[in-house]
Structure 1
């Protein structure tokens, strides 16, 4: 398989996520998932590789199925694997992970509620 097609998928996924056209849900403490057609895509931060001196690794995983119980793993791609053809792969995957996490946790709504609470104190 040509990794340039995976890079195209990653860029489009990132763009549509920023435009809030793709919705993400929390899977685990370090992964978020969305369903497109019959496939589930997960953006994963590899916590085992993370330490204070090194950047974490990010993976885009594709499974066939909408839930964890009946999902069949198809493939996954890491930022390291993509960096030769996509030098920005780490930054794109890191930004996608952060946006997916913020969306899944409704950070925007939480911040708005906090602002309203503070405004109510004044």
Structure 2
């Protein structure tokens, strides 16, 4: 799903987030940003593997304090000299994962055809 981190250091950061209905993040990629070259742009896969560390992480509800950057008491590393950018991305990924958890309730139950 598409997600936006509106509070990046240099503006909005656009993301694609894959998460299952249980809140497990399957993958995350940045599709657009205007972060500082050599600092905040480490969110790009071609410059750093940081964005790949979301895969396999589980979001255990809105109050999950572990799904945050370490500077905020969470388990996710930020990179040296930049906290705002990673914090914005982490929060956007968390919101997307929480939204994914609500989707099963929005899908009507399917019935078998021909019965």
TM-score normalized by the length of structure 1:
0.32
Higher helix share: 1
Higher strand share: 1
TM-score normalized by the length of structure 2:
0.33
